[in-house]
């Protein structure tokens, strides 16, 4: 019988790519999510019955244990960018990670991959960074042979980075951002999935791997690259610190007064603290090279999914050609 992997958060942005690749490797894949009815799209990743979404609440021991029964390996992809309800940074990124690692150890499972983030820091200014670091420590306490992946900003068809800002260009001639000079090292989501698969299949040594793409660019430069891809002219405006803080406070307040019915998906005060720091691979860190993976550039992928934000969508190139033809006549 083929091996089984349980992927917590397996229908999320990163998890779905890991699920697809593990299915291609011949593994049975159990996708542990809060709403399995909304994760049925993972089933075609393999043959009938190979990939199955199952109900799980990572804040509950019994729930985590039940979906791990019989597994040969586990992956934790669960993380949040904003606290909503009971899903706080501590509950999800620290306690949730610890719970998965501890229960895996109790069940005799030693093959674990934990997806963290560059910037995880026990002394970090943001709650996000501190809980990510605490989650790593908790995982290694119970799973000393775990592989921890720390990606930089992740891009891909379902991302909430380029898609979000590209969507904003439809509404305004200005594109306001905070800390435009902060550096990022964008990494393709499928390259992160390849790293996880390498670890799960025994092709990577235990330890922490920082994952960044082949290019380092400032936040502002990434926005300009996105604008070039979607064929739109917008003025990228770097908000002064006090104004950015005021905007973040406003969106946080809106979430609070709406009793969290309106979630702050734009900019939180905690995210603003993260944006002050560069998000790039450390000079002495293990990375893609140690995994035998050659990451792709953002420029080679962005046109594949950002075309829908062009003025004429998929017909933009055709219209440009038509205009050029008229000008030549």
- The pTM score is 0.94
185 C-beta neighbours (distance < 10 Å), count: 23
What's the pLDDT at 156? 98
Residue 190 lies in a domain: yes
pLDDT of residue 314: 80
CATH code for position 204: 3.40.50.720
State residue 329's pLDDT score: 56
**What distance in Å separates the CA atoms of residue 266 and residue 22, rounded to the nearest whole number?**
33
Q: Is residue 69's pLDDT more than 70?
A: yes
* Of the candidates 35, 39, 37, 49, the residue with the CA atom closest to the CA atom of residue 15: 39
**What is the model's pLDDT at position 324?**
65
Residue 263 belongs to some domain of the structure: no
Rounded-to-integer distance, Cα 272 and Cα 268, Å: 6
The answer as to whether 232 is a domain residue is no
Flag whether 118 is in a domain.
yes
pLDDT digits (tens, 9 = 90+) for 78-105: 999 999 999 999 999 999 999 999 999 9
Residue 66 CA to residue 322 CA, distance in Å, equals 59
| 211 pLDDT tier (thresholds 50, 70, 90) | very high
Give me the chain's average pLDDT, please: 95
Q: Rounded to an integer, what distance in angstroms lies between the CA atom of residue 264 and that of residue 77? A: 21
Q: 292-305 burial by CB neighbour count: b if 16+ within 10 A, else e?
A: ebebeebeebbeeb
- Token pair recorded at residue 121: 């820091």
**How confident is the model over 232-253, as a mean pLDDT?**
96
Residue 251, sorted as left (phi over 0), alpha (psi -120 to 50) or beta, turns out to be alpha
**Cα–Cα distance between 68 and 30 in angstroms, integer?**
8
The rounded distance, in Å, linking the Cα atoms of 81 and 273 is 12
Does the residue 9 lie in any domain?
Answer: yes
Give the model's pLDDT for residue 142: 98
In a domain, 18, yes or no: yes
Kindly give, in sequence order, each residue whose CB lies less than 8 Å from that of residue 279, ignoring residues fewer than 6 positions away: 118, 119, 152, 153, 182, 183, 184, 185
Please check the confidence at residue 201 and state whether its pLDDT lies above 90: yes
The answer to whether position 71 is within a domain reads yes
Residue 327: pLDDT band (50, 70, 90) is: low
Q: Is the residue at 326 inside a domain? A: no
Range of the domain at 86: 4-156+186-213+279-295
Total of domains in the chain = 1
CA distance 257 to 318: 47
pLDDT given for residue 312 in this prediction: 83
pLDDT tens-place string over residues 31-60: 999 999 999 999 999 999 999 999 999 999
pLDDT in tens, 281-323: 999 999 999 999 999 999 999 999 999 999 988 877 776 666 6
Contacts (Cβ under 8 Å, ≥6 apart) of 289 = none
263-268 CB contacts, 8 Å cutoff, 24+ apart: 263/82, 263/84, 264/82, 265/82, 265/160, 265/164, 267/178, 268/81, 268/82
């Amino acid at each position: 019988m083929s091996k089984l992997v349980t992927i917590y958060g397996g229908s999320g942005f990163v998890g779905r790519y890991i699920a697809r690749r593990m299915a291609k490797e011949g593994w049975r894949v159990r996708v542990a999510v809060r709403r399995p009815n909304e994760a049925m799209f993972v089933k075609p990743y393999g043959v009938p019955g190979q990939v199955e979404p199952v109900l799980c609440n990572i804040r509950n021991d019994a729930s985590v244990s039940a979906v791990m029964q019989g597994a040969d390996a586990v992956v934790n992809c669960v993380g949040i960018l904003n606290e909503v309800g009971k899903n706080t940074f501590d509950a999800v990124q620290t306690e949730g990670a610890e719970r998965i690692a501890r229960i895996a150890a109790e069940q005799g499972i030693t093959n674990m991959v934990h997806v963290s983030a560059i910037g995880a820091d026990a002394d970090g200014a943001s709650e996000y960074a501190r809980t990510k670091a605490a989650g790593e420590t908790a995982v290694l306490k119970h799973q000393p042979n775990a592989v921890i992946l720390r990606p930089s900003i992740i891009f891909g068809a379902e991302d909430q980075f380029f898609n979000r800002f590209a969507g904003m260009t439809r509404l305004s001639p200005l594109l306001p951002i905070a800390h435009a000079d902060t550096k990022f090292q964008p990494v393709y989501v499928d390259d992160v999935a390849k790293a996880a698969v390498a670890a799960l299949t025994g092709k990577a040594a235990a330890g922490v791997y920082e994952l960044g793409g082949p290019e380092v660019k400032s936040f502002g430069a990434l926005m300009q690259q996105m604008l070039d891809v979607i064929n739109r002219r917008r003025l990228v405006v770097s908000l002064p610190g006090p104004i950015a803080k005021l905007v973040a406070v406003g969106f946080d307040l809106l979430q609070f007064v709406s009793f969290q019915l309106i979630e702050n998906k734009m900019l939180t005060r905690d995210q603003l603290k993260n944006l002050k720091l560069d998000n790039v691979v450390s000079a002495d860190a293990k990375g893609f090279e140690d995994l035998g993976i050659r990451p792709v550039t953002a420029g080679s992928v962005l046109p594949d999914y950002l075309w829908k934000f062009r003025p004429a969508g998929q017909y933009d190139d055709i219209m440009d050609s038509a205009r050029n033809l008229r000008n030549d006549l």
